Structure 1
Amino acid sequence: MDNFLFAVAAFVLGLLILGLVCVLKGATLADRMMSAQLLGTSGIAALLLMATAVSEPAIIDVALALALLAAFASIAFATSSGDRQDQE
C-alpha cells in the first residue's frame, strides 16, 4: 500500500510541475493566481499522501500550514485586484 501512495504522490508532484509552467506562462493575473492555487492544492495532496505512507503526523501539520497560506494568498489577490479595479 505504501508503494501505491508514493506512486500517487509522485503523480501529483508531476502535475504540480505542469502547474508551475502555467504560473510562469499564464496570460492574465487571474490565470496565474488560479495556477498558484493549483500548486497549493497539489502540494497539500502530495504532503497528505506522504504523511499517510510514512505514518508521520508532523507532515499533516505542514500540509495544514500550506492550506492556510494558500487561503491567505487568494484573499490577498482578491483584495489587491479589487483595489486595482477601483482605481480605474
Structure 2
Amino acid sequence: MYSFMLGAAGFVLAVVALGLARVLRGPGRADRMMAMQLLGTGGIAVLLLFSIANSLYAVVDVALVLAVLSVFASVALVETAPPDSGGAA
C-alpha cells in the first residue's frame, strides 16, 4: 500500500507539473491564478497521500491550512481585480 500511495503522489505531481506548464503561459492574471489554484490542489492531494502512506496524520492539518490559504488567495485576486468594462456576461 505504501508504494501505491507514493506512486499516486508522484503521478499527481506529474499531472500538476504538466498543467502548470500550460497555464503559466497564459497572458492574464486569471490564468496565473488558475496556475496557483492547480498548484494548491495538487499540493493538498500529495500531502494527503503522503500522510496516509506514512501514517502521519498531522500532515492532514498542513493540507487543510494550504486549502484555506488557497481560498484566501482567490478572494484577494477577485477583490483587487479592476471592475469589468461593461456589458452583460
User: Normalization by structure 2: what TM-score?
Assistant: 0.85
1:75 counterpart SS class: helix
Stretches of structure 1 that go unaligned for 5 or more consecutive residues are none
Say which is worse superposed, 35-44 or 20-29, in terms of deviation: 20-29
Counterpart code for 1:40: G
SS at match of 2:49: helix
Deviations 1:46-78 (Å, cap 9, x if unpaired)? 100000000001111110110010000000001
* Pick aligned residue for 2:83 from 77, 82, 85: 85
> How far apart, CA to CA, are the structure 1 residues paired with 2:19 and 2:71?
18
Give structure 2 stretches of 5+ with no counterpart: none
Give 1:1-88 correspondences, 5 Å limit: 1-81=1-81, 84-85=82-83
In 2: Cα distance, 1:19 partner to 1:60 partner:
24
My pick for the range that moved more, 22-31 or 36-45, is 22-31
CA distance in 1, matches of 2:8, 2:84: 44
Report sequence identity in percent.
Answer: 51
